[in-house]
Amino acid sequence: MGRLPTGRPTSFDIAYLAGVSQPTVSRALRGDRSVSPATRERIETIARELNYTVDKNASSLRSQRSNTIALLFFEDPTPDESMINPFFLAMLGSITRAAANRGLDLLISFQRLEDDWHVQYQDSHRADGLILLGYGDWTIYQQRLEQLRRQGTHFARWGSVSSDASGGTIGSDNVEAGRIAGAHLIERGRRRIAFLGHADSHYPEFASRYDGLCAAMRAAGLSPDPALQHNALTSEEAGYAAAEALIAGGAHFDAIFAASDLIAIGAMRALSQAGRSVPADVAVIGFDDIPAASFTRPPLTTIMQDMRGAGERLVDTLLADIAGTPRPDPRLPTKLVIRESTATR
C-alpha cells in the first residue's frame, strides 16, 4: 500500500484506499466468496468511484482462464419456434447479471444431445466452464454429464438436486413445492387432485413434485389415486392432451396440479372445451410462474421459483467448481402465488 491513486487507476490503488492487499482486491472483483461481503462491497464501491475496469487479457494470462463462461440451452420445441422453454428464458436475465457482477463474459448457445457441444467451449478454451439449462429425458442426459465429469469439464446445471450426487446441480426443493401446492388445494376444499406430468426417473423434477403432492394428501387423510396421474412434458399441447385423457378416463376429479405452467395452460383449454369451469368445477395450479401465467383466464395460481437466486447460485456454483472451493447450498425455496384459478367455490 505504497501510493495514492494517480493517472489510470489500478488494483493497487484500490487496495491502498480499501486498506487491503492487492490479491484481496483481485479476488473480490472476480466474485471470490473467500472475501467477506463487507470487504467486497467496499472494494467494489471504490472501483466504481475510480471508474476502474478489469484488464481481462492480463488477468487471463495470470490465471490461465478466459474469464468467460458458456450458457447452453437444451433445445425444447415451442410454439413460437424459439426452441427455448420460457421458464429458462426468464432465468437468462439473472444469469447475465450474475456473470457481469463477477467480471465474466457470457457465451450463449444451444446444446444438442447428438453434438459434442462441450468441445466448442471448455475443450477449446473459449470458456472456463458451462451452465446447462434443460435436459429432456434425464436417463439419457445423465450419460453426457458423466462424460463431462470424466474429462474434467467444469459445469453447473439447473435440475433435480436429489438425482445428481456431483454437487453441480442447482434446483428448487421440488418435494416441498409439491407439498405446498397440495396443501393449498386441500385447504380450498379439493379432495380429488389430479397430477399432469411425468412422475418417474426420466423426469425427476416432475416426480418430486408429485411425491410432494401425495405427501400432502396423505397428511390430510386422503389417498392419491394413480388413475389421476397422466404423463405430460412441458408444453401446452402436452397439457391439453393429458387433460383430455383425464376427462375421457371418467374418473372424478376436482383439482389439477400441473408440473409446469405450460401444462396447466393447455389443461385449462381442454377443461374449457369440455364445459368444465375453472375454478368452479376444477381448481388448477401450475409451476414456474412464467409471464403468461398471470394472463390466462382465469389467472393461474402457480408455484414461483427463485429466478434471481437461481442465476446467482448457478454462477457461484460454477465458479466454486472451477476454483475447487466449497459449493453453495444447491436447493432454493419456492413461493406459492395465489390467483383466481384456485379460488374457493
Structural domains of the chain sorted by starting position, each given as residue range(s) with its CATH number in brackets = 11-54 (1.10.260.40), 68-171+306-331 (3.40.50.2300), 174-305+336-342 (3.40.50.2300)
| CA-wise closest residue to 162 among 232, 211, 95, 113 | 211
At position 246, the amino acid (one-letter code) is L
Q: What span, in angstroms and rounded, lies between the C-alpha atoms of 174 and 162?
A: 10
Peptide bond into 279 cis (omega under 30): yes
Q: What span, in angstroms and rounded, lies between the C-alpha atoms of 268 and 296?
A: 9
Cell matching residue 336: 406459492
Three-state DSSP at 308 gives helix
Residue 129 phi/psi, 5-degree rounding, is: -175, 175
DSSP E strands, the chain: 68-74, 105-111, 129-133, 155-158, 169-172, 193-196, 229-230, 255-258, 283-288, 301-305, 331-332, 334-337
Q: What span, in angstroms and rounded, lies between the C-alpha atoms of 257 and 271?
A: 13
> Other C-beta atoms within 10 Å of 38: how many?
8
The pLDDT, as a whole number, for residue 61 is 41
The pLDDT, as a whole number, for residue 153 is 83
Cell matching residue 293: 401465467
Q: What is the pLDDT tens value at each position of the chain, 345 positions in all?
A: 445 545 678 888 898 899 998 778 877 887 766 788 899 899 989 988 888 876 555 554 444 567 889 888 876 655 555 566 778 877 888 999 999 988 899 988 876 655 565 555 555 567 888 999 887 778 877 877 787 777 778 899 999 887 776 668 999 999 999 999 999 999 999 999 999 999 998 899 999 999 999 999 999 999 999 999 999 988 899 999 999 999 999 999 999 999 999 999 999 999 999 999 999 999 999 999 998 999 999 999 999 999 889 999 999 999 998 888 888 899 999 999 999 999 987
**CA angle, residues 317, 109, 96, in degrees to nearest 5:** 50
Query: 47's torsion region: left (phi>0), alpha (psi -120 to 50) or beta?
Result: alpha
Q: Does residue 53 contact residue 35 with C-beta atoms inside 8 Å?
A: no
Residue 127, judged by CB atoms within 10 A of its CB (0-12, 13-18, 19+), counts as: buried
| CA-wise closest residue to 315 among 38, 87, 100, 42 | 100
The pLDDT, as a whole number, for residue 162 is 79
The pLDDT, as a whole number, for residue 2 is 46
Cell matching residue 279: 375454478
Q: What span, in angstroms and rounded, lies between the C-alpha atoms of 281 and 275?
A: 9
HEC string for 129-167: EEEEECCCCHHHHHHHHHHHHHCCCCEEEECCHHHCCCC
Cell matching residue 328: 453453495
> Other C-beta atoms within 10 Å of 64: how many?
8
The pLDDT, as a whole number, for residue 148 is 77
